[in-house]
């Protein structure tokens, strides 16, 4: 299963619509299941739901996760689940873009700022496997950064 998640914050209809379009064209090798939050676009070529308490098990069990540039990226890394990520550029201060830009300087990450690049990212998905060895270093860096921000 390919699992798409946009989180619980702002809608990310552009990503959901592009994944749905590709599913309709038969681009994906597995069925698509989408968590669409409070978005208005409802996929026609796969299952969807708005919210669930079982997101972690879906992330863990998916063949591939397509997601916004939030902390769910970290869960994909923890579980070793391959993922493709796109920042939701409508989020205040564009922090998802900056997060992915920084993360990709430390670990190989399959991402693009444009959901329209999903097909290209999907085609190169086998080049990107979660680097669990680099995860502990990343965790330490994130923890130190957050502690610095808290005391600042």
Question: Do residues 15 and 6 lie in contact, with contact meaning Cβ atoms separated by under 8 Å?
Answer: yes
Q: Where are the domains of the chain?
A: 2-151
> In terms of pTM, does the model score above 0.95?
no
pLDDT above 90 (res 117) = yes
Query: What is the tens place of the pLDDT at every residue in 13-49?
Result: 999 999 999 999 999 999 999 999 999 999 999 999 9
Per-residue model confidence as pLDDT tens digits over 61-115: 999 999 999 889 988 988 889 999 999 998 778 889 988 998 888 888 999 999 9
**Beta-carbon neighbour count of residue 91 at 10 Å?**
17
pLDDT band at 128 (very low <50, low <70, confident <90, very high): confident
Is the pLDDT confidence value at 6 over 90? yes
Closest CA to 12 of 117, 115, 118: 115
Class of domain 2-151: alpha beta
């Amino acid at each position: 299963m390919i699992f798409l998640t946009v989180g619980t914050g702002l809608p990310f209809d552009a990503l959901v619509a592009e994944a749905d379009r590709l599913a309709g064209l038969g681009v994906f090798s597995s069925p698509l299941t989408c968590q669409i939050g409070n978005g208005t676009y409802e996929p026609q070529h796969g299952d969807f739901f708005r919210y669930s308490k079982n997101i972690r098990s879906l992330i863990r069990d998916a063949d591939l996760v397509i997601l916004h540039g939030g902390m769910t990226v970290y869960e994909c890394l923890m579980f070793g689940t391959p993922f493709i990520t796109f920042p939701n550029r409508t989020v205040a201060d564009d922090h998802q873009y900056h997060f992915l830009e920084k993360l990709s300087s430390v670990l190989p990450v399959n991402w693009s700022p444009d959901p329209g690049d999903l097909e290209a990212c999907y085609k190169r998905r086998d080049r990107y496997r979660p680097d669990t060895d680099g995860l502990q270093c990343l965790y330490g860096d994130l923890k130190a950064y957050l502690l610095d921000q808290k005391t600042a």
